Amino acid sequence: MRDLYQRLGIDRQAGTDDIRQAIDACDHNALKTDASTVLEVPSRREEYDRLHATLTDIGCLRARLGLTHGPYWRDSVANDFSLPPDTSRPLHEVLLSRIGEAVMLHNRWRRYRGPWLIGGIFVLGFLMGAALCHWWL
């Protein structure tokens, strides 16, 4: 499927006036006819948008998972939804590193809890003593 918004150079949320202007300004006759057939009738545009959203999602996922040139997407020359590969870290790796971090924090707390508790009680006692001396004597 062609991405009519991308080909007309407009945003997906563009209003009807913007769309009409873009269609009038377009030089490509076939694209002009198709775009006005699809985008100027609200019911058709709604259905087109739904499929468009799904394909955009799939394009995004393919870019992130390194599937931009899989055999399923090779034959369609006009695949408007292919994006350049995204080299950010895989989410599963991110999840594992975050779990590792959480486990480390937990263990550190377990290990140092005793001394911290003793120190806390000592400081509390000292403060209470100081307060007693100050107010009552």
At 90 the three-state DSSP class reads coil
Q: Compose the 30-69 pattern: x for residues touching another protein by CB under 8 A, - for all others.
A: ---xx--xx--x--x--xx-xx-xxx-xx-xxx-xx-x--
Give 51 or 117: the residue with its C-beta nearer to another protein.
51
At 40 the three-state DSSP class reads coil
Q: Does 104 bind another protein (CB under 8 A)?
A: no
Q: Does 22 bind another protein (CB under 8 A)?
A: no
Query: Any residues with CB less than 8 A from the CB of 84 and at least 6 apart, and which?
Result: 63, 68
Q: Does 106 bind another protein (CB under 8 A)?
A: no
d(CA 43, CA 36): 13
- Distances 15 to 25, 32, 52, 54, 129 between C-alpha atoms, Å: 16, 17, 17, 21, 72
Q: Does 16 bind another protein (CB under 8 A)?
A: no
CB atoms within 10 A of CB 22: 20
Stretch that binds another protein, among 8-16, 96-104, 112-120, 121-129 (CB under 8 A): 96-104
Q: Would you tell me which residues interact with another protein (CB under 8 A)?
A: 1-4, 33-34, 37-38, 41, 44, 47-48, 50-51, 53-55, 57-58, 60-62, 64-65, 67, 70-73, 90-92, 95, 97-99, 101
